[in-house]
Amino acid sequence: MNTNGSMDWSSALDAIKETVGPNGWLSEAAELEPYVTEWRKILRGSCRMVVRPASTEQTAKVVGICHRAGIPITPLGGNTGMVGGGVPEDGIVLSTERMTAVRALDADNATITVEAGCILAEVPNAARDGGFLFPLSLAAEGSCRIGGNIATNAGGNNTVRYGNTRDLVLGLEVVLPDGRIWDGLRGLRKCNTGYDLKHLFIGSEGTLGVITAAVLALVPAPKDRVTAMATADSWQDLLKLFAIMQGHLAGTLVAFEVFTGLGMEITARHVVDIVDPFAEPAPLYALIETVCYGDDAAVREALETGLGEAFEQELVGDAVIAESGLQADNLWRIRESLPEAQSVEATVIKHDISVPISKIPAYVAEGSKIAMEIAPGCRILSNVSAYGTT
């Protein structure tokens, strides 16, 4: 400790090791490698140590020590982020991988309280035990962690019905940059007292503090789902199809995902067991999913009626409705394999841009033109969730 109360880095790193114990830190170059390289292996950083606290209290002590020594902290969850926010420049990587507990499932309040290192796919598993669904779902769900989802305000496949991660977070526990713990773990749906500080941390990519736990909103688990895929020639036609589906399926439409013929082609080429379900390739494909809470035959009929209307208006070229859970999973696998297929096919420049639904056709046309001017010969692969494009 220096006379002004600050610490030198070497003493600080020793103090951190003591705080988290022998299982709580890594410093060999080979051990650090997976934590300093992002999953696409495009960006690579460096750090002095990976710190893996086992509790909020340990996290707070570690952050406090770093604060006194001026050591930069890069929080890391599952390292599936797309924008390099988890790539360290120096200092320590603070991994949440040892904070994985489900702290509470409150069935009467329909909430679940989980630690930040909980793998996303584990949250719906835990919620299912209480008859609930946690509706955040994305292709990285087997690796990404809830703290990372919150820090990136991830969207995923069900935004059309349930919104982004922000809409599912009711409370947060955060370690602030000076090591204090901010306890905002409230499970209130109606709260109008003062500023809602949790929203500052959601989407902040680790810049304002380390999220250590969250209270998440659950919804009743649906009885069943009906999944369909349709082809279309133009983005305008798909906008009309979306409006028809919203009209027929209202609150039960949970996904409307669009990808291009190029996406289908490369996915079928690179990913085992993926086949285009249609006889003819098409310019655009829409994956549509609706959930059933009561009479599933009625929901299926509503979906069929909507598709029938779209056929009459010549908005869709072909369509298939999954007859089983396996068929539905196979349709989803096409959508979810797109990132993997892209990485195998070529070097990928990713972006994630939100535009109003009505502006999607113009955005894709203009954006493609500009991209072609900047990088002639590039291939554009637009994947659109009903509320965003990538």
Ligand X SMILES: Cc1cc2nc3c(=O)[nH]c(=O)nc-3n(C[C@H](O)[C@H](O)[C@H](O)COP(=O)(O)OP(=O)(O)OC[C@H]3O[C@@H](n4cnc5c(N)ncnc54)[C@H](O)[C@@H]3O)c2cc1C
Q: Which residues bind ligand X (CB under 6 A)?
A: 39, 74-82, 85-86, 96, 116, 138-140, 144-145, 147-149, 151-152, 154-156, 205-206, 210-211, 339
Instruction: Specify the pairing of strand 92-95 against strand 73-76.
Output: parallel
**Which of residues 82 and 105 has its CB atom nearest to ligand X in the complex?**
82
**Which of residues 7 and 119 has its CB atom nearest to ligand X in the complex?**
119
CB of 140 to ligand X, least distance (A): 4
CB of 66 to ligand X, least distance (A): 14
Q: What's the CA gap between 152 and 147, in Å, rounded?
A: 9
CB of 26 to ligand X, least distance (A): 16
From residue 227, give the alpha-carbon distance in Å to each of 32, 162, 203, 286, 312.
42, 17, 30, 11, 21
CB of 83 to ligand X, least distance (A): 7
CB of 211 to ligand X, least distance (A): 4
HEC per residue, the chain? CCCCCCCCHHHHHHHHHHHHCHHHEECCHHHHHHHHECCCCCCECCCCEEECCCCHHHHHHHHHHHHHHCCCEEEECCCCCCCCCCCCCCCEEEECCCCCCEEEEECCCCEEEEECCCECCHHHHHHHCCCEECCCCCCCCCCCEHHHHHHHCCCCCCHHHHCCHHHHEEEEEEECCCCCEEEECCCCCCCCCCCCCHHHHCCCCCCCCEEEEEEEECEECCCEEEEEEEEECCHHHHHHHHHHHHHHHHHHEEEEEEEEHHHHHHHHHHCCCCCCCCCCCCCEEEEEEEEECCCHHHHHHHHHHHHHHHHHCCCCCCEEECCCHHHHHHHHHHHHCHHHHHHHHCCCCCCCECCCHHHHHHHHHHHHHHHHHHCCCCCCCCCEECCEEC
Query: Residue with the closest Cβ to ligand X?
Result: 148
**Which of residues 77 and 306 has its CB atom nearest to ligand X in the complex?**
77
CB of 15 to ligand X, least distance (A): 22
Of the candidates 337, 388, 330, 327, the residue with the CA atom closest to the CA atom of residue 140: 337
**Which of residues 94 and 315 has its CB atom nearest to ligand X in the complex?**
94
**Which of residues 173 and 237 has its CB atom nearest to ligand X in the complex?**
173
**Which of residues 76 and 229 has its CB atom nearest to ligand X in the complex?**
76
CB of 312 to ligand X, least distance (A): 32
**Which of residues 53 and 306 has its CB atom nearest to ligand X in the complex?**
53
CB of 273 to ligand X, least distance (A): 18
**Which of residues 147 and 306 has its CB atom nearest to ligand X in the complex?**
147
CB of 286 to ligand X, least distance (A): 16
**Which of residues 139 and 334 has its CB atom nearest to ligand X in the complex?**
139
